[in-house]
Every structure is written in C-alpha cells, then in structure tokens.
Amino acid sequence: MGTWVCHLRIAQNLLARLPDLDEHAFTFGNLAPDSGIPNSDWSKFDPPKEVTHFIHHGESESQIRDLDFFHAHLANQDRRDIPRYSFALGYFFHLLTDGLWAKRIVIPTKQIHAARYAELGKLKMIELIKRDWYGLDHRFLRDGRANLFWRVLMPAPNPPAYLPFIPLNALHQQLGYIRAYYSKPDGDRKLDRAYPFLNEATMTRFVDDTTRALVHIHARLDDLPTLNESTTALAVLDARAIAPFDSPLGDVE
C-alpha cells in the first residue's frame, strides 16, 4: 500500500535508530511483502496478498493481521542470526507501515475526494492518486542519492527468501522490477508540478510519524504476545498515532 520509496525512507530512518541490524537484509525485508508477481493489470498477485500481507479474502490493507506474521515468523527468530532476523523485522515493519498508510492516507483521501470518486470512478481515481504517490518517489530519488535505493538496493545482490511462504523467483522478480521502475523512469513523467492528492510535506510527515511509531513498537516487541484481543501491533500506539491525516493532504490549487 505504501510506496516502495516510502518504505525505504522509513527503513533508512529505522536503521539509524535500531542497532545491530543487517542493513542489506533489513532493506530487502522492507520490500519483500510486495513479492507477489502481478497479472497483466495488477489486479491479482502470485502469491496473493492474503498470503504476503496476512489479510483475509475481501479485506483491505487497513485490516492486515500483522500479529499473525509476528507470532509465526518473528517472535521466535534467533536474534543472533542477524541477517535472517533483520529481514523478518523489515517484513513486519512493512506490514505495519501499510496498515498506517491505509488508515492515515488512503481513508482520508477517499473522504476528501469523494465527489471526484463518484464522478470519475474508482479505477481512474486510483490512477490519478498513484501518479502523485509515485511521482513523489521519483522526485525524491532524482534529487538525492544518499538513500537506501541508490546505496543498497541497486548495487546489492538479491537476498535469500528467508521466509518459507515467499517464493525466491517472486522475490527476485519484484526486486528487479522495483530497480528498473525507479532507475529508468518514464521521460514523460512530470515531477516538478502541483501534487493535489499527496504532496511532499504530507509524505515527509508520514515517514517521520511512522518511524516514531515503529520505534515505539520495536521497544515493546516482548509485550506483543499479550495482545490477545488484537490482530495488529498498532494496538500499542496512542490513538493520535493512527488517526487519519486532516485535509488537505496535497497541494491546494
């Protein structure tokens, strides 16, 4: 749900705050949940999001069951196996970030632009909205190279698929797609323009707020097994940390 560069920006912030992680494995883990190979119109994935994002059929990413992943694949990880643990922790943080993106960005976007959704339809609106989301990614990477995309993702070899439900070919194919998508951008993509649905100020706020939220959750990893009444570790956060962002999210024209 969150953009790939958004995930990488948060991962870079976290690496500066959480010691003893493997930078490469953590970076790849933060992208690994998007390892489903898409069909021609990106409406279905193999493996499906029910597998990679721990949702039930018909659920949205605001309902990710990240604690299912935590209990099965992270809680009992040997932290001395630093690459494997770093990859799994990155995967967990991606799921949490997607949950926050759905709650804080997607839900208010739909509410703010309800009239345009009714006028243009869901598919056209998604196209317009994602033009802003990924335009911000491309502009961020164009304007600086001291980030995980250029420093780690581009030059580093593909990792093992440390998790049993992620096919190695799917992981590597999608990492290749992400590298090509950002390193060989469409020359017709206009980056210096107004961003009506999501602008850099809101993206930066999301990155910074989510970094703080994940650091807080990381500090409480040992408490997560006690969350018997919840499906998500976001339950340990203050209500303000998961509240939808107020309007406007983008540039006001």
Each residue's pLDDT tens digit, 164-174: 999 999 999 99
Q: Kindly indicate the confidence band of residue 142, based on its pLDDT and cuts at 50, 70 and 90.
A: very high
pLDDT digits (tens, 9 = 90+) for 23-63: 999 999 999 999 999 888 878 899 999 999 999 988 888 89
pLDDT of residue 187: 80
Strands (E), the chain: 37-38, 45-46
Report the chain's mean pLDDT, rounded to a whole number.
Answer: 96
Is there a contact between 27 and 153 (Cβ–Cβ < 8 Å)? Answer: yes
Number of Cα atoms under 13 Å in the Cβ half of residue 201 = 12
**Calpha distance 126→249 (Å, rounded):** 15
Q: Residue 119 pLDDT > 80, yes or no? A: yes
Reported as type and span, the H/E element at residue 38 is: strand 37-38
Provide the whole-model pTM. 0.96
Q: Residue 76 pLDDT > 90, yes or no? A: yes
Q: Residue 75 pLDDT > 90, yes or no? A: yes
Residue for token digits 């797609």? 177
